[in-house]
């Protein structure tokens, strides 16, 4: 079996479709089907169950996928390591929304000033999506504010952060400086979507106190939430770093939640089988020099 077989197989798994994989790879669909058949014949196992025109990985397929991702990752690392890495290369970095908004532009700018010929490709999404991309080797590493859920990922803290309860400065809630946990269920919350690190911390902290809230708004856009809260449409719990300017301009106010703490850490995450290239290691060293634990 060749590296090409592994690349085709992982692309089919990621696309969940032979046709889509062929389009991604720029090859004919029969070539993809043949590669999968050759893999199944070589190992003497069925890699996919084909039910109602859909593909479902078998247990043997799941195992081969883990090995394939590791093999492809090692091959990519070998290429980056052997080539003159400070004059050539691509670094694929992921980021959750808060880190991507507040920190990533500065990090990339600083890295470019040190290694101008290395291209940095950044993907920003919620923490759950970014973790999935790390597991699929679509990112070399990522910076997130969420909790890691897979035991195949290494997470290393690098910066403190906290969430704050905010309301519009001219809203009906602005005269309050503190609320009790029990009062939260009566507030109109505008929150990030499930899967974001911010939402996960908020929900889990309330759950530990036996409290649950149903948001009136859910949005993937933090900026949309900030604007809606500023207009007095409700309250939200957001990262302090993302609302720092609005608090300084006094378009938002903060309220304490008695007895609740929303402190957390940003983390660097990467697959435990991932060989970090010299450029990735240099980027992480740069971050850790500025860390604040």
Read off the CATH number of the domain in which 14 is found: 1.10.10.10
Mean pLDDT confidence for 92-108:
93
Position 136 scores a pLDDT of 86
Domain coverage including residue 30: 3-67
Amino acid 77: pLDDT: 72
The reported pLDDT for the residue numbered 52 is 76
Tell me, yes or no, whether 73 lies in a domain.
no
Res 81: pLDDT: 65
Both 10 and 141 in one domain: the answer is: no
Mean predicted confidence (pLDDT) in 106-130: 92
What confidence tens digit (pLDDT) does each residue in 149-169 have? 999 999 999 998 899 999 999
Task: Specify whether 54 is located in the same domain as 191.
Answer: no
In the chain, % of residues over pLDDT 70: 95
- DSSP letters, the chain, are --HHHHHHHHHHHHHTSHHHHHHHHTS-HHHHHHHHHHHHHHHTS--EEEETTEEEE-HHHHHHHHHHHHHHHHHHHHHHHHS-TTTS-EEEEEE-HHHHHHTHHHHHHHHHHH-TTSEEEEEE--HHHHHHHHHTTSSSEEEESS----TTEEEEEEEEEEEEEEEETTSTTTT-SEE-GGGGGGS-BEEEPBTBHHHHHHHHHHHTTT-----SEEES-HHHHHHHHHTTS-EEEEEHHHHHHHHHHTSEEEEEETT---EEEEEEEEETT----HHHHHHHHHHHHT-B-
Same domain, 187 and 281: no
285 shares a domain with 149: yes
pLDDT for 245 beyond 80: yes
Query: Is residue 76 one of the residues assigned to a domain?
Result: no
Residue that is last in its domain, among 40, 67, 94: 67
Residues 176 and 146 in one domain: no
Share of residues in the chain with pLDDT > 90 (%): 58
Residues 121 and 168 in one domain: no
The tally of domains found in the chain comes to 3
Residues 242 and 108 both lie in one domain? no
Per-residue pLDDT of 173-202, as tens digits, reads: 888 889 999 999 999 999 999 989 899 999
What is the model's pLDDT at position 84? 56
Q: Is 60 exceeded by the pLDDT of residue 85?
A: no
Question: Is a pLDDT exceeding 60 seen at residue 38?
Answer: yes
Stretch 54-58: mean pLDDT, rounded? 88
Out of 22-26, 92-96, 154-158, which region has the weakest mean confidence (pLDDT)?
22-26
Same domain, 50 and 127: no
Task: Give pLDDT, residue 54.
Answer: 83
Indicate if 167 and 207 belong to the same structural domain.
yes
- For range 98-113, the mean pLDDT: 93
Read off the CATH number of the domain in which 244 is found: 3.40.190.290
Residues 30 and 92 in one domain: no
Average pLDDT over residues 82-103: 81
What's the CATH code of the domain at 280?
Answer: 3.40.190.10
Q: Judge contact between 283 and 91, C-beta under 8 A.
A: yes
Domain-embedded: residue 75? no
> Is residue 72 one of the residues assigned to a domain?
no
| One domain, residues 15 and 100 | no
Instruction: Calculate mean pLDDT across residues 93-100.
Output: 93
pTM, rounded to two decimals: 0.68
Provide the pLDDT confidence category of residue 146 given band limits of 50, 70 and 90.
confident
Using an 8 Å Cβ cutoff, are 136 and 69 in contact? Answer: yes
140 with 169, same domain: the answer is: no
Give the span between the Cα atoms of 288 and 159, in whole angstroms: 9
- The stretch 223-242 carries a mean pLDDT of 94
């Amino acid at each position: 079996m060749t590296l090409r077989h592994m690349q085709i197989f992982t692309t089919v798994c990621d696309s969940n479709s032979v046709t889509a994989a062929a389009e991604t790879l720029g090859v004919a669909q029969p070539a993809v089907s043949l590669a999968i058949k050759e893999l199944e014949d070589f190992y003497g196992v069925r890699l996919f169950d084909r039910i109602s025109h859909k593909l479902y990985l078998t247990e043997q397929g799941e195992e081969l996928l883990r090995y394939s991702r590791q093999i492809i990752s090692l091959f990519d690392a070998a290429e980056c390591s052997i080539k003159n890495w400070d004059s050539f290369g691509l670094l694929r970095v992921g980021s959750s929304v808060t880190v991507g908004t507040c920190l990533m532009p500065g990090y990339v700018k600083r890295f470019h000033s040190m290694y101008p010929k290395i291209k940095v490709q950044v993907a920003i999404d919620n923490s759950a999506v970014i973790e999935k991309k790390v597991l699929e080797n679509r990112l070399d590493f990522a910076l997130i504010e969420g909790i890691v859920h897979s035991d195949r990922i290494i997470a290393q803290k690098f910066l403190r952060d906290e969430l704050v309860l905010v309301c519009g400065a001219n809203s009906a809630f602005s005269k309050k400086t503190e609320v009790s946990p029990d009062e939260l269920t009566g507030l109109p919350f505008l929150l990030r979507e499930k899967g974001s690190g911010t939402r996960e911390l908020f929900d889990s902290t309330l759950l530990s106190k036996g409290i649950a809230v149903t948001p009136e708004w859910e949005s993937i856009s933090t900026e949309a939430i900030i604007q809606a809260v500023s207009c007095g449409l409700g309250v939200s719990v957001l990262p302090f770093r993302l609302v720092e300017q609005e608090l300084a301009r006094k378009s938002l106010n903060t309220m304490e939640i008695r007895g609740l703490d929303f402190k957390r850490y940003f983390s660097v995450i990467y697959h435990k089988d991932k060989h970090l290239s010299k450029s990735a290691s240099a980027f992480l060293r740069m971050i850790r020099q500025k860390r604040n634990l």
